[in-house]
Structure 1
């Protein structure tokens, strides 16, 4: 699943290319998306201007004129691509929007069809369960807010970093990499760590996320940005999916355990409990 850096890369690409564009036409191409959207979806979006593109956690909010919003969650394999209007449609296209005067089409593409796209009135966003449950964004939360939310939940840190109601945006990749950089064991309990150690984790998380965004995210499977470009932060991963390889700091073999039903990678020497 694309995590915060990948989704931010997509959102930034959209901000730079589609804000101010008019939707000449918009269509839903799958039953899954048609079921959760207004029946007159096409007539509502046609003629609307794209006013802004925002992101919270792993979700994208495209603000349209007339107090309408397109809410997007990629889930496992969703993508937003800007393509030539002559590009043939595929069986994995879920929605398509013709943009003018750009003369491009914005395509919501999703091989596994778990991705979500909903047209909402502006005031409905805060009532959307998937959005309302989010904690503060991992990129913008303050150090004090981050520490407080981890302390009050009293769980192991890997579970907390994956919990979107605690802090929104992290997934398996960036939780593992942030914990490694902070030299904290993923099973360490938040209530047993000092505020100074959690502050180190916060700083490490910010450093990892910033680096991943600069690199355009991690393209491990099929993630790509709106222009089809792949990210390259995967070449900087230090523990994620490195089981059995030497730790880049101490040389001890990276180990894998399961926490919160997710594979978790760490160095048993650098990240002692």
Structure 2
């Protein structure tokens, strides 16, 4: 599924092109994960002021509220001067005077949701419990350490939960834990202060590098310009079961945690 880097790459690929655009029409297809919450016609005439990201949500600010977009498990956005007829898996067209933003989502776990503001429902419910943004100055080491010390669950599961730090999905959790030398099964509260500092830095490094590389295109991810990502080509552990570790040449192991595959090096990640 698209994780934080893929969502940020998507944002960067169309944000400047749609900013300042006036909404001419909005067409919704089959029902998505959550309803829009208002009539699509109510968005007509509004101006897209900017595009932000909170966790895995894209937030299109207008002068009257926020259009929140989520890519779900398999969704992608495409922004172009015009779009052809909507296909079977095209579920939203936001038509503006600067182009058409289309949501393509074969599995329909994505969403397009309207909210008056971040302090109103449904935005308050969807965004209110999200953790710190790892690519901002708000990702404070002290708060990160405090959050981990309260959790007895395995560190990989804590990272995926998103209430301590947001957006560190399955791929990037495995990669950050490898870089920090931490075994994914160790309890979060058992990790030492120095090791937490390494993990804090590793999360920033891995996510920033993934954004730089255009995200990971393991299946069909493309940004809003149709471009794929390349981070998966340089992954240290993710998807490399049985292959030699890039550092010590020990075969990479794979286990299942919370119904998700986890990859690690048994030698480099001893703690």
* Superposition TM-score, scaled by structure 2 size: 0.94
Partner Cα separation in structure 2 for residue 127 and residue 120 of structure 1: 6
Tell me the residue number matched to 1:47.
45
| Contact persistence 2:15–2:50 (CA under 8 A) | yes
Tell me if 1:91 matches 2:88.
yes
Tell me the residue number matched to 2:127.
131
| Contact persistence 2:160–2:173 (CA under 8 A) | yes
Shift of 1:127: 5.1
Q: Quote the RMSD (CA, aligned, Å).
A: 1.6
Partner Cα separation in structure 2 for residue 86 and residue 144 of structure 1: 47
Partner Cα separation in structure 1 for residue 18 and residue 174 of structure 2: 34
Tell me the residue number matched to 1:64.
62
Shift of 1:262: 1.2
3-state SS of the aligned residue for 2:150? helix
Tell me the residue number matched to 1:24.
24
Tell me the residue number matched to 2:254.
256
- What whole-Å deviation, never above 9, does each CA across 1:157-188 have from its counterpart, x for those lacking one? 10111011221101110000000011111011
Shift of 1:83: 2.5
C-alpha change, 1:245 and 1:81, in structure 2 (3 Å) is same
* Pick aligned residue for 2:111 from 98, 107, 116: 116
Partner Cα separation in structure 1 for residue 83 and residue 49 of structure 2: 25
Partner Cα separation in structure 2 for residue 99 and residue 190 of structure 1: 46
Partner Cα separation in structure 1 for residue 23 and residue 65 of structure 2: 13
Pairs aligned (count)? 268
Unmatched 5+ residue regions in structure 2? Answer: none
3-state SS of the aligned residue for 2:25? strand
More displaced, 82-91 or 113-122? Answer: 82-91
C-alpha change, 1:240 and 1:48, in structure 2 (3 Å) is same
3-state SS of the aligned residue for 1:124? coil
| Contact persistence 1:41–1:119 (CA under 8 A) | no
C-alpha change, 1:193 and 1:40, in structure 2 (3 Å) is closer
Unmatched 5+ residue regions in structure 1? Answer: none
More displaced, 13-22 or 251-260? Answer: 13-22
3-state SS of the aligned residue for 2:69? strand
* Pick aligned residue for 1:200 from 198, 201, 220: 198
3-state SS of the aligned residue for 2:120? helix
Partner Cα separation in structure 2 for residue 113 and residue 258 of structure 1: 25
Tell me the residue number matched to 1:73.
70
- What whole-Å deviation, never above 9, does each CA across 1:32-51 have from its counterpart, x for those lacking one? 47x72245222x11111001
Tell me the residue number matched to 1:4.
4
Give the ranges of 4+ consecutive aligned residues of structure 1 lying more than 6 Å apart after TM superposition.
none
- What whole-Å deviation, never above 9, does each CA across 1:116-145 have from its counterpart, x for those lacking one? 110111242575422222111222211222
Partner Cα separation in structure 2 for residue 86 and residue 210 of structure 1: 32
C-alpha change, 1:152 and 1:39, in structure 2 (3 Å) is closer
Tell me the residue number matched to 2:244.
246
* Pick aligned residue for 1:156 from 138, 148, 154: 154
C-alpha change, 1:48 and 1:181, in structure 2 (3 Å) is same
